């Protein structure tokens, strides 16, 4: 199996986040993300698509952690520097 299904899962999580940020209302950000997801979906192998159908995202709250580990303000392109994640003592 290729890394494309994992990439598609990342898009699904981003979509959940975008919808949450916009209170469930449609947005240009959501439309652009859905277009990317659609392109990726049709470039997956049938086996990868079946795997994604068979193992959908879990129901309920999902913890979303951006790969770059910045806080929400920086993620949304504010001018403040990111806070550095620290381990609990």
pTM attached to this predicted model? 0.62
Residue 59 placed within a domain:
yes
Within 10 angstroms of residue 8's Cβ, the number of other Cβ atoms is: 19
- The more confident residue out of 69 and 56 is 56
Residue 75 placed within a domain:
no
What's residue 34's pLDDT? 95
5 with 44: CB under 8 angstroms? yes
Reported as a single tens digit per residue, the pLDDT across 11-68 is 998 998 898 888 888 999 999 999 999 999 999 999 999 999 998 877 666 555 554 4
Domain range for 52 is: 4-64
| Calpha distance 7→13 (Å, rounded) | 10
Residue 87 placed within a domain:
no
Residue 71 placed within a domain:
no
50 with 42: CB under 8 angstroms? no
Residue 84 placed within a domain:
no
Residue 40 placed within a domain:
yes
Residue 86 placed within a domain:
no
pLDDT exceeds 80 at position 88: no
Q: What are phi and psi of 80, to 5 degrees?
A: -75, 150
Domains in the chain, number: 1
Residue 13 placed within a domain:
yes
What's residue 41's pLDDT? 95
What's residue 57's pLDDT? 79
| Calpha distance 15→9 (Å, rounded) | 10
């Amino acid at each position: 199996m290729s890394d494309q299904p994992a990439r598609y899962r990342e898009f699904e999580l981003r979509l959940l986040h975008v919808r949450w940020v916009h209170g469930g209302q449609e947005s240009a950000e959501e439309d652009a993300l859905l277009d990317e997801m659609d392109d990726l979906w049709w470039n997956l192998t049938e086996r990868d698509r079946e795997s994604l159908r068979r193992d959908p995202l879990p129901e309920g709250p999902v913890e979303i952690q951006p790969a770059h580990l910045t806080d929400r303000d920086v993620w949304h392109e504010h001018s403040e520097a990111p806070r550095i994640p620290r381990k609990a003592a």
